Structure 1
Amino acid sequence: MPDASQTPVETRRYATQIEAPVPDYRQLIRDMTIVEFSDLRREATARAPADAKAVGEQWLARLNERGVVDGYGLSGKNDDDPISSFSLTLTPADFDAWVRENGWSVPRHIDWNFVPDLVSPRVSDAAAQGIRIWPASEARTGMQNQAADSGRIVLRDGCFYLDRQGVETLAWFHAETGLDVDGEGFYVLVNRMTGQVEGRLGETFVWAAPNPITPGGPSMEEFRAACGDGEISTVGNPTSTARMDAMYPPVRAPDAAPPPGIH
């Protein structure tokens, strides 16, 4: 009978993708399905009632308790003016279901803004086999800062890193970014709101910054156990710079006029 201590133990092999050829983004963009984000804004259909301030404060308290307020606007410039609009990190369907569960009536004098549904999974079955953990939040992002950040995002031994000129930090994503494997076998980041490929790992990406780590997703203990104690960079919802250039080709400066006397 063989000695159990000498029986080979199969170890799981995790994926590494440090570089990848840039796909033909012009073709991908030509072939992509345009997703219309309809019904994400519901405009007010009534004038503000006399108790508009109290109504707005009541709804602000409800929404804050749920943790879904991305922002709100007032009807005037004074701090004590009534609330006239809400921006929420809920989809329209989730908001409607929540309202029905509580038996509330939605005030018609307030504008309501929502986030789109997510149509793609956090991680596809094909991609899940090669990673240790998916470092992404679950809470929806809402409005983001407008400064831009960039760097190469790579996959090494099942963990994700941001590489800035050879200096690496662990990468963390927003909820709207997912992971898949494309038809050529490369790991790609996917826009979960549209299902469209945003870039292959190993490319240079750009994203809105700075970003906090929003709630949900793996705990820090799970993340550290899987990928170590390195510094974490939140890369938001990144898009390949090559894809951006294909969508919005850089404007070429006009040729300078020749000096006088030269034709």
Structure 2
Amino acid sequence: MRYLLPLAVMLGACAPAQDDSSSATADREYATQVEAPTPDYAMLVKQTRLEGESYVRRDATGPMPPDAKAVGQSWFERLEAENLLLGAGFDGKGPSGAVTHLDVGMTESEFRSWTTQNGLDVPTHISWSFVPPMNLPAVSEAASEGIRVWPASSARTGAQNEALLAGRVELRDGCFWATEGEGEADKLAFFHAEIGLDRDSEGYYILVDRVGGQTRARLGEAMSWGGPPTAYIAPEAERDLRAACGDAPILVVGSPESSERFLTSYPHLRNPVAPPPPPGAD
């Protein structure tokens, strides 16, 4: 197997030769982790979640005004323009009705500060939901030296497709590469904002849940994720990713989880039993 020995992660020095003023950059080495042994997920799934705000819902408290449709549309567009709109509910049978609910990609306290700073009156006839805070940094100090760029969204994640997809994410020379299904990991991986990077006690690079703090996978493991996932990719994020890692297609992997961790959490799926045939089927 090609997994990396604890505390001896393979490094690849491939920065191009530069003049003396850039020698520190030229000499920098980046990490590679294309396989890893499976950790003890029976223990890891019992990790205590980090404390903090949870998802918050603020119910509507006021009557719907005559201009409810215009008010709701202005808030819909305001949040959408800031990449803060995660979802919406409408009166009646669809988007032609007035907005009655908005899912916001901020915590409740962030939303309160934002509306105060911008002098916005929050309508009371709309219900609101807010995301929990992220308790971990996008990249830990221990992991930061081994990578060129962290390819994750700057916007919080809303409702996603839920088909179970399988693939792999690996780290090669400081860049994150992914494949869906079998085959070579030849696409640039891109993660949801809630996924972060750290190194575990054995030195392996791991994906972590920035909200709850749990270990989701070691890079190089077989993984699964819900999808096809979507994520906001800011122009500057794509520019930085391209500058660091090249022009390969980008594959949004969202919030990957080790396949073994998934099966540890749902052991009945490890050896699924086929349902009996329908009556009369021979």
Normalising by structure 1, report the TM-score. Answer: 0.84
Tell me which amino acid in the other structure corresponds to 1:83.
Answer: V
- Given that 1:136 and 1:217 are in contact with CA atoms closer than 8 Å, whether structure 2 keeps it comes out as no
Gaps of 5+ in 2: 1-18, 276-282
Between stretches 226-235 and 38-47, larger displacement belongs to 38-47
Deviation, structure 1 residue 78:
5.7
Match of 2:9 in 1: none
* Residue 63 (structure 1) aligned with residue 84 (structure 2): no
Between stretches 72-81 and 133-142, larger displacement belongs to 72-81
Between stretches 54-63 and 33-42, larger displacement belongs to 33-42
Show the 5 A alignment for 1:94-113.
94-113=110-129
Distance, in Å, in 2 between the alignment partners of 1:114 and 1:234 is: 24
- Provide, for residues 103-138 of structure 1, a one-character-per-residue CA deviation record: whole Å limited to 9, x for no partner: 333222211012221111111111011111111121
Match of 1:167 in 2: 184
Deviation, structure 1 residue 24:
0.8
Paired-residue identity, %: 44
**RMSD over aligned Cα atoms:** 2.7
From the superposition, tell whether residues 24 and 192 of structure 1 become closer, same or farther in structure 2 (CA, over 3 Å): same
Tell me which amino acid in the other structure corresponds to 1:248.
Answer: Y
Name which of 115, 123, 126 aligns with 2:142. Answer: 126
Match of 1:259 in 2: none
- Given that 2:132 and 2:211 are in contact with CA atoms closer than 8 Å, whether structure 1 keeps it comes out as yes
Deviation, structure 1 residue 222:
2.7
Distance, in Å, in 2 between the alignment partners of 1:55 and 1:218 is: 32
Tell me which amino acid in the other structure corresponds to 1:114.
Answer: F
- Given that 1:71 and 1:88 are in contact with CA atoms closer than 8 Å, whether structure 2 keeps it comes out as yes
- Given that 2:58 and 2:128 are in contact with CA atoms closer than 8 Å, whether structure 1 keeps it comes out as yes
Secondary structure, in 3 states, of the residue corresponding to 1:15? strand
Distance, in Å, in 2 between the alignment partners of 1:87 and 1:246 is: 32
Show the 5 A alignment for 1:140-159.
140-159=156-175
- Given that 2:154 and 2:234 are in contact with CA atoms closer than 8 Å, whether structure 1 keeps it comes out as yes
Show the 5 A alignment for 1:212-223.
212-216=230-234, 219-223=237-241
Larger Rg: 1
* Residue 177 (structure 1) aligned with residue 225 (structure 2): no
The count of aligned residue pairs is 251
Deviation, structure 1 residue 254:
6.9
Match of 2:204 in 1: 186
Deviation, structure 1 residue 190:
0.8
Name which of 40, 44, 49 aligns with 2:56. Answer: 40
Gaps of 5+ in 1: 257-263
